Structure 1
């Protein structure tokens, strides 16, 4: 029997616990609104979830062995796994694979990207732990069999000590880096201040002790090199914008060969565009190069601009979910929606019929927010401005690293690699590989998770995308000097982004955007943060029509004058709500 109590009223009901949903929930909670977050699954994260491999296998194979491990999400399609591999595992391998945690959509962050800055400004870094991805590679496949691995240099020292570049290429890279740096917003880059390693919120005490001494010496050298600017004509900044309209123009202007262009194109600005496609200086280059330069040598991560969240990407939405809970919101896992009733003229409140394993209730609220995947079955009218950006998400479990230079003595095998798997005349001819080892906390020692993401072309079929990726993997495996590398598990699925920007469908019903598909689908770029803020702004303006200020990255965590008082009232109300629920259960 459904019940509706006086305490079951909220300003906002948010469906889902993905990163965008949790950022919006925390933003509303910090501004004093009462927020109820409903998650149909029994774990946080939504599209950004991290799950045990057996749970992922049950989900992909559509043949769950344990009903309590069921997990479903409707933004993934055409799931496929190798059942023969899974059934042929030894008992020891099967036991080890139970301790592997897989990201549904693995993400890499820029050290000074908006998400990291937001985590710091909201003071929730204690909920997270990151580590730097020190090895960034570009893999070239030759003759469909052999491949060449090039480590991307991010400092003058790395350029000249590189054994992967010849002397001419080293000069080209140095000229490109130093002169472009003078064109860009140098003042912004110079102002960046490295966080003190000892007090760095992204480092555990163990990591600090291990890398403190070595990092200090390297940082002194790198900082001296970074702050040494080279003279270059100031007029070049204005001149290059109209002159460079394609990557071919870019290559001619900077006088770089094809190999150096590929390094920059695929690992610095992450573009899949064809050589002769229109090139926008600000959109295609300035933004990423500025972000890369400002992210180098940050948070104790020497020589890399990238971070990976230890223990999986699920901690990203969970950190904002905890922030929202501290500020007064309530999260209910394992709770789904059966029907949604439109507001009547008298109450002007939405009625949301929800159910969990042991109860049914009716919740009243002013506004409902959710993604298309969570709201589609309740919408009577079609949604406008839908898109269809596809990503092939492929992952493997190996007993040895897939990406590792032959002469490498490093025991750490966390790396990000771009691999060219298509012809130059086609777009989207690059896939990105993220290799995780035991240092990430996602797998036991001796096992490796290899994620391969490929943004699909508009006309590209799933079969074509899978074939290209599999051929690339076969080339990498065939390049191994021994035959001991074993693929223990592999699976894939298609992610489809349909909603690009938040939309207000009806009064109080707001459609949230899907996670962005960019040139590199691994990178959690600023678009997701921007769209979260836009959705938050739409929600606040509906709840308070007198609100005129726009929500921005800078004022996201700023409190209102009466915020503390409002949060206290909301927490008291939530406590009463919990007490009522407990009394109902006990009675």
Structure 2
């Protein structure tokens, strides 16, 4: 296999596969290798046998769980896509949506004073919401109208604020919002996982609320969509895209040696297939453990198998529930993603609830108790703890570009930030998505 490539990509996590797909479309010759025999790396979806082998190796998968192995597709990293978010834009612009079918998530809920309530999706829902008293509803409505009408070029819509100077706390104070309302705006709409944002400038929060509102208005029920058969479909979709444009994939291929040139820059890899050379490598943190650092936080994730929908959600087939840290005396939010057979991830009659948060104590499973209470009776629970890593350098000195670990957040916006960041470091230009012709349009153009 002694060959030359433009880029070698190690690991088939979502970040790596998106970059591999985009670079292949741009005409780069890409070799993509994974030591595992399945796609997805840390962001794979596992069948029932794989799941129990990973989380309860000493136990057999339980007899009482019905359905075939492949009827189960359980995400290792549970996240939803914002229907107007960056990852959705990348999927549309690269035409990967042709390989993947999406379903909307039924509702977005927030935990408040011991119970859950639907996050208002618009001003009308805010007025009907059980989260607020009548006067607070008016204040919230005024706040949402301010956000909706804010126009950069029209100072009459700014109400005296500068989003790049004023903090979010100052804007909340101006509208007189209660702490519980601030909680659900900041954590269930802007999707911040801590309260640090309160004392930072307001623009990022404004942009996040706009993303939430626009994502909701796209389909109506919630801002989230999710691929049928699990998130493992996403890396595979980008892998197909890469293959169409000449990318080469090798699964089940461990790396025997990393090659460097005289300047200490990356120059290739050696595998059982031989030597492959390239001036650049993109990899997940597991391939270069000596070049990454722990960011000091760990994520705990619990996969809970249920036989009933979540109480208080009108028996919806899927929901996102956010427990803001303030509500349970924590520093980080707890996220719950609930899916069912309509998403083709469990057999009929089952529900999958995946709980995740950043660990804060020596007894992480106890930290998930508020979530477990909301879920009710569980048939089984599988828990895993993941250390979070990030690269020590930006990679330009060695041409080794390493992705970050997937965080505890419930959506992909931080992952797409990392994708855009790596793309910029690799190519020296920002990622600008051009709408590509579909394969049919290309074939028509070429007279096929």
Alignment partner of 1:395 is 2:298 = no
For 1:514, the equivalent position in structure 2 comes to 404
TM-score by length of 1: 0.67
Post-superposition shift, 1:493?
Answer: 1.6
Higher mean displacement: 435-444 or 235-244: 235-244
1:26-63 CA deviation, whole Å, 9 max, x = no partner? Answer: 22212222111001111111121101122011012344
Task: Check 1:398–1:98 CA distance in 2 against 1; reply closer, same or farther (3 A cut).
Answer: farther
Alignment partner of 1:152 is 2:112 = no
From 345, 350, 375, the counterpart of 1:442 = 345
1:443-488 CA deviation, whole Å, 9 max, x = no partner? Answer: 11110000111134xxx2351x32121x2134325xxxxxxx6422
Task: Check 1:237–1:45 CA distance in 2 against 1; reply closer, same or farther (3 A cut).
Answer: farther
Post-superposition shift, 1:373?
Answer: 0.8
Task: Check 1:425–1:303 CA distance in 2 against 1; reply closer, same or farther (3 A cut).
Answer: closer
1:236-251 alignment runs, 5 A limit: 236-238=159-161, 242-244=165-167, 246=169, 249-251=170-172
Whether the aligned pair in 1 keeps the contact of 2:21 and 2:241 (CA below 8 Å) is yes
Post-superposition shift, 1:257?
Answer: 2.2
Alignment partner of 1:258 is 2:201 = no
The CA distance in 2 between the partners of 1:162 and 1:31, in whole Å, is 48
From 213, 227, 233, the counterpart of 1:309 = 227
Alignment partner of 1:419 is 2:419 = no
Task: Check 1:137–1:425 CA distance in 2 against 1; reply closer, same or farther (3 A cut).
Answer: closer
Task: Check 1:538–1:492 CA distance in 2 against 1; reply closer, same or farther (3 A cut).
Answer: same
3-state SS in 1 of match to 2:256: strand
1:106-141 CA deviation, whole Å, 9 max, x = no partner? Answer: 111111111111111112211111122231111235
Alignment partner of 1:325 is 2:254 = no
1:442-481 alignment runs, 5 A limit: 442-456=345-359, 460-463=360-363, 465-469=364-368, 471-477=369-375
For 2:425, the equivalent position in structure 1 comes to 538
For 1:140, the equivalent position in structure 2 comes to 112
From 550, 553, 556, the counterpart of 2:432 = 553
The CA distance in 1 between the partners of 2:136 and 2:189, in whole Å, is 16
Length, aligned pairs only: 439
Unaligned runs of 5+ in 1: 64-82, 142-146, 188-231, 377-381, 478-484, 542-549, 559-563, 569-587
Alignment partner of 1:494 is 2:396 = no
For 1:14, the equivalent position in structure 2 comes to 9
From 24, 28, 48, the counterpart of 2:23 = 28
Whether the aligned pair in 2 keeps the contact of 1:502 and 1:534 (CA below 8 Å) is no
Alignment partner of 1:368 is 2:316 = no
The CA distance in 1 between the partners of 2:24 and 2:110, in whole Å, is 43
1:262-318 CA deviation, whole Å, 9 max, x = no partner? Answer: 2212211122434896232123x11201212322332xx224222122211111111
The CA distance in 1 between the partners of 2:71 and 2:186, in whole Å, is 37
1:144-177 CA deviation, whole Å, 9 max, x = no partner? Answer: xxx3221111123323444554423332321221
Post-superposition shift, 1:333?
Answer: 0.9
Task: Check 1:112–1:365 CA distance in 2 against 1; reply closer, same or farther (3 A cut).
Answer: same
Whether the aligned pair in 2 keeps the contact of 1:133 and 1:415 (CA below 8 Å) is yes
The CA distance in 1 between the partners of 2:425 and 2:180, in whole Å, is 45
Whether the aligned pair in 1 keeps the contact of 2:8 and 2:281 (CA below 8 Å) is yes
Q: Pairwise CA RMSD of aligned residues?
A: 3.2
Whether the aligned pair in 1 keeps the contact of 2:106 and 2:317 (CA below 8 Å) is no
Whether the aligned pair in 2 keeps the contact of 1:351 and 1:365 (CA below 8 Å) is yes
The CA distance in 1 between the partners of 2:326 and 2:277, in whole Å, is 53
Whether the aligned pair in 1 keeps the contact of 2:39 and 2:232 (CA below 8 Å) is yes
Task: Check 1:420–1:155 CA distance in 2 against 1; reply closer, same or farther (3 A cut).
Answer: closer
The CA distance in 2 between the partners of 1:305 and 1:489, in whole Å, is 29
Task: Check 1:43–1:173 CA distance in 2 against 1; reply closer, same or farther (3 A cut).
Answer: same
3-state SS in 2 of match to 1:54: helix
Task: Check 1:351–1:134 CA distance in 2 against 1; reply closer, same or farther (3 A cut).
Answer: closer
The CA distance in 2 between the partners of 1:534 and 1:421, in whole Å, is 29
The CA distance in 1 between the partners of 2:197 and 2:215, in whole Å, is 30
TM-score by length of 2: 0.87
Task: Check 1:386–1:496 CA distance in 2 against 1; reply closer, same or farther (3 A cut).
Answer: closer
The CA distance in 2 between the partners of 1:167 and 1:131, in whole Å, is 34
Task: Check 1:396–1:425 CA distance in 2 against 1; reply closer, same or farther (3 A cut).
Answer: closer
Post-superposition shift, 1:242?
Answer: 4.3
1:521-558 CA deviation, whole Å, 9 max, x = no partner? Answer: 11100x432332332343346xxxxxxxx132335969
Q: Which has the larger radius of gyration?
A: 1
Task: Check 1:258–1:275 CA distance in 2 against 1; reply closer, same or farther (3 A cut).
Answer: farther
Alignment partner of 1:529 is 2:416 = yes
The CA distance in 2 between the partners of 1:335 and 1:366, in whole Å, is 20
Post-superposition shift, 1:185?
Answer: 5.4
